[in-house]
Amino acid sequence: MPPKQPEIHRPSLRPRRYGILPEIPHCYLRRAVCRRYNSRKHCYLRCDAEGYINRRAYFLGKRSVCFCRTRRPSEATPACAKRVGDIFDKPQFFVHKDAHVMDTRQGAEGDCWFISSLGCLCVDVQFPKLIAKLCPPEARDEKVGVYGFVFFRDGEWISEIIDDKLYIRAPDYDDCDDERRAVWDRSHSRLDPAVLREEYRKTFQSNSDALFFGSCADPNETWVPLIEKAFAKAHGDFNAIDGGWPGEGIEDLTGGVTTEIVSADILDKDLLWNEGFLRVNKEFLFNSGTRQYGHADPNELGRQGIEDDHAYSLLRAVDYNGNRLCMVKNPWGETEWNGPWSDGSKEWTPEAMKALEHKFGNEGIFWMPYADFLRRYDQIWRTRLFTDDWNIAQHWTTIQVPWAGDYNDTKFEFDLPKPATAVIVLSQLDTRYFMGLTGQYTFQLSFRLHKSGEKQHIIRGYSSGDRSATTEVDLEAGTYEVLLQISGQRFDSLPKVEDVVKQNWLARREKLMSIGLSYDIANAKGQGVESEPEPEPEPTASVMTMTADAAPSAPSEPAVAVDASNVDATGAAGTTVGAAFTVDTEPDPASDEAPWDAVCVVGLKVFTPGMAAAIRVVKPTAAAPAVGKANLDVDDPEKDATEKVAK
């Protein structure tokens, strides 16, 4: 048996979906990096500098995992499910011929990160009808009750088909056994029984207010609950979309690339306003989030209407009479900012109301000053959208991740035939859609970009959420190397894949097969055969190329054998509540801890306008072994403090 690997207590600068985030030692708060907005490269960079307090590490170490505030926290489960025609009086997918930003309202699910992303897509400027493209008219039959949606996942568009059954909050009249039924019967005792039952249905089970999960503000509009259901089904069930990062939500809906901005680390706020915020809904989409504060404020008096640990949509940014103003949407569809420029505040005049096209009301949409926006929202996500003249090249492979956080021996290379602005994304698999079969390992990605043969890096890419690290840079023609740094953590409290299969193969067979199929398909991306290079596409065509590379070793957890013929594509997998697998997490006292065996499937995507990059994987072999390890960065927590820094 191999010797037991030493346990490394390494702080994580990114909160994980599972387990408890360890406290960050004070020494790591001093060895810090800062971010600055680079106008030439249009990206946020980290400056290699000692002496700055790492506000990002401190902030992330203290906050809760992801964004998961709910609108109705007291309701545990829905009462029943009914078809759209049985809920709505006059159901319409779009009431006003298209989605509107005032439509979205979050329900009892903790998916404010997703609903806020939907709100960002509703402001049609340079990219119109983004919501309609997810479910075009030819992909839905509202009379029959069948809808087809598309989402972006792991570098490609996937489709999902659903029926029109939606969960509602109140049970049927005959199933209602709480005090509500007794009160209703007493107050309507003089009515005919048939009329009494119909009035009960109209009061508790009709139109948008009856829905348990997300809904539209219009009582007869259906696009929000249906797209939320399709997104939940695409990822397994509603439990799978509870909590997340707002930027990743926009990526899943648009195929864009998100860069995370920490408000406390912005050095040039004027540049961010001019080069970023003023381009909202033109070149970028923005959403933001607040953290969980240490002091409880149940009446929200000190927060001025801004909720803790909650995601918001940034809809507009304007300069009005010397005031920098941001238009923001709370996905709840209610509860607004009550500071300067809030509804009814002294700053508003009839001229301002007309110029900004604003009306007072509690629909969750409000204006606030730019300075207050940066103070209230700790994290901002900027998602770049791509037009048809951008091309995407991508390549996936499987990496054996060491327990030490060194740069990996495997690296990516890509060729640019001419100078271009390149958006570079290093991604791992989106584990949300095979949640439960993720195993005990979690990973955080970063990378360095080098000109081929040069030791000094050009730029570094850092994580923007759980699954990707990104950067954007202007490059000359030539060959470039992407050095990978993948940090892995193992949580023994999480179940192993084989344990999940063993304990659910009989009781949850269909669910296990569905999620297992997703697991197999996802991990197969990194286990293919090297493909032949494809010819360069025409400059005006939008091209996506994807290749995969052979894995260096088999994954530590065996893939689940699945018979795809038994999986119903339109089944109830996406309409099941409380579908978490049953797993006994008690450790076996007689078993020894397994050796470190972390495997991560990663892909490199390079977006370039007017041409496609050629990507390949370079792995050490017996004939061409790796020549030494890439040096760790000067601000890396794992760097030996006694090592001299090369000048």
Would you give the distance in Å from CA 82 to the centre of its chain? 29
Strands (E), 402-543: 407-416, 420-428, 441-451, 457-463, 468-475, 478-490
Would you give the distance in Å from CA 595 to the centre of its chain? 31
User: Which stretch of DSSP H or E encloses residue 187?
Assistant: helix 179-187
- CB 472 within 8 Å of CB 42: yes
Return d(Cα 265, Cα 536) in angstroms, integer.
40
Task: Identify the CA nearest to 227 among candidates 164, 288, 143.
Answer: 164
Active-site amino acid positions: 112, 310, 330
DSSP 571: S
Tokens in use for 317? 């940014």
Return d(Cα 58, Cα 326) in angstroms, integer.
27
- CB 484 within 8 Å of CB 407: yes
Return d(Cα 49, Cα 455) in angstroms, integer.
19
Return d(Cα 272, Cα 315) in angstroms, integer.
16
Return d(Cα 267, Cα 269) in angstroms, integer.
6
Q: Measure Cα distances from 56 to 18, 32, 292, 356 in Å.
A: 20, 9, 14, 34
- What number of other Cβ atoms are within 10 A of residue 476's Cβ? 10
Residues forming beta bridges with residue 470, ordered by sequence position: 425, 462
Residues forming beta bridges with residue 605, ordered by sequence position: 394, 425
Cα 261-263-266 angle, rounded to 5 deg: 80
The dihedrals phi and psi of 58, each to the nearest 5 degrees, come to -65, -45
Residues forming beta bridges with residue 13, ordered by sequence position: none
Helices and strands, counts by H and E, the chain: 14, 25
- CB 556 within 8 Å of CB 439: yes
| Cβ partners under 8 Å of residue 74, min gap 6 | none
| Cβ partners under 8 Å of residue 529, min gap 6 | 548, 550
Q: How many CA atoms lie within 13 Å of 410's alpha carbon, on the beta-carbon side?
A: 21
Return d(Cα 118, Cα 104) in angstroms, integer.
7
